[in-house]
Structures are given as C-alpha cells and as structure tokens.
Amino acid sequence: MSLLIPAIDIIEGKCVRLTKGDYTTQKIYSSQPLSIAKSFEDIGVKRIHLVDLEGAKQKKIVNLDILEEIASKTSLLVDFGGGIQSTSDLESVWNAGAYQVTCGSIAVINKPLFVEWVQKYGPEKFILAADVRNEQVAINGWQENSQRSIYELIEEYKEIGIEYVLCTDIAKDGMLSGPSVQLYKRILSKFPHLKLIASGGVRSIDDLLEIRKNHLFGVVFGKAFYEGKITLESLKQIL
C-alpha cells in the first residue's frame, strides 16, 4: 500500500506552494510549519517531504532550523531536500534529524560526489529526485534539460544500489490536474522493484487511491491539501 507523504515546502520559515516550480507564483499557507507537521502526525501520517525552496534557489541550506524543529518535536520520518551542495551540508542535515535526503540536480551535475555519499551513508538514506518534462530530466530548478531520460538516470543509479526515486512531472506540479499515472506505470514496468514515489498533480483523495492501486511506494501531495481539496479527516479515513 502506497505511503501518503504530505509535502511541506519552506520559504522564509513559512509553508508555501509554487506552481510548476515558479517562485513568482509563491503562495503562503501557514507561518507555522511545526503545527502543520503535527496535524499530519495526529492523524497517523508517518513521514513528510520537507523542501527548503529557499535553499534550492540559493544553492545553500537556509531553513535547517525547521527540519530540526519538526524532527525533534514529532515522530515523523522526514525526508529533506533543497540546497544540499557539500558533504558538510549533508552532515548538518543528518545532525538536524533527517531520516532520508532527497537529491536531484546534484546527482546529475556531480555524480562522483553523490556516489561518494551513497557509498558512505548507504543507498537507503537517499531518494533520487527526478523532475521530468516529457520523460526528460530537468535540473537547476527545472530551468535546464539534462538531455537524459528518466529511464537512463534510474538505470545509472540502480547500479550503486539506489532504490528510492521521487518522480515529479513538472507539467503537473501545482496544477491540480491529476497525477501522471501512465508515466509511473511505464517506469515500474522497466524497474519493477523500484521504490517509486509519485509527485505532482494530485487533486483529490481519489487520485491518492488511484496511485495506491498501481503499487507505488508512496505519493507526495501538497497543494490539494493546502487548498482544502483533501482534508485531514478524509486522509485519516484512508490511512
């Protein structure tokens, strides 16, 4: 059964959402990320996807204190991404309480460093983030095409033991237009043992249930919750 993984995206310490990764579309939903995290914990959510959007843009971790607060004051397993550029960055994230780290552009741009991390800490500690547009992986805040397909990227990192992959369809992100179920089916047909996490486009409880039918490891969702289309009560029922 697919895990339901709420996303908490942070800019200036606040919960925000972007549309298609565009920072000019930023909308603030809460100034209390810890309260949001606790509300998920209270209904039985086990893990969250915490993204330092500021860090991703500035290429340095900015909101480490939010990670530390949520990790120390809840029992949630936190996967964290955004702004991790060096081994010292990574160690600060582990020390702040992250359960896993999500790595995207760095895995494409600096493979030797990412491989070094995986070998040092173990592949189970990492989620490979693949942001795709027409099955091509985009990097650097989705602005640049890496000229590599999602399948090539997964194949490359499968060889060093990476099992967890978070796949976001850029065209769907923040659009509330339904998830890319067919894309996920194609990925799993090629990599049936992959722990694939869907992201982008979720608009309702029905979408979460649809993804569950397709045997993905998990599904990340955000905007549908913050816009009230998925409620805590409805989530509790399917948890």
Catalytic residue numbers read: 9, 131
- Of the candidates 120, 119, 137, 71, which has an alpha carbon nearest to the alpha carbon of residue 99? 71
Q: How far apart are CA 180 and CA 105, in angstroms?
A: 21
Q: How far apart are CA 172 and CA 20, in angstroms?
A: 7
- Of the candidates 136, 200, 186, 191, which has an alpha carbon nearest to the alpha carbon of residue 162? 191
Task: Locate 173 and state its tokens.
Answer: 């992100």
Find the helix packing angle between 181-190 and 150-158, rounded to 10°: 40
In angstroms, the Cα distances linking 154 to 18, 167, 174, 194, 201 are 26, 10, 24, 9, 22
The pairs formed by 90-99 with CB atoms below 8 angstroms and a separation of 24 or more are 90/117, 90/121, 92/61, 92/64, 93/61, 93/64, 93/67, 94/121, 96/64, 96/67, 96/68, 96/71, 97/67, 97/68, 97/70, 97/71, 97/72, 98/67, 98/71, 99/47, 99/71
Type of residue numbered 165: V
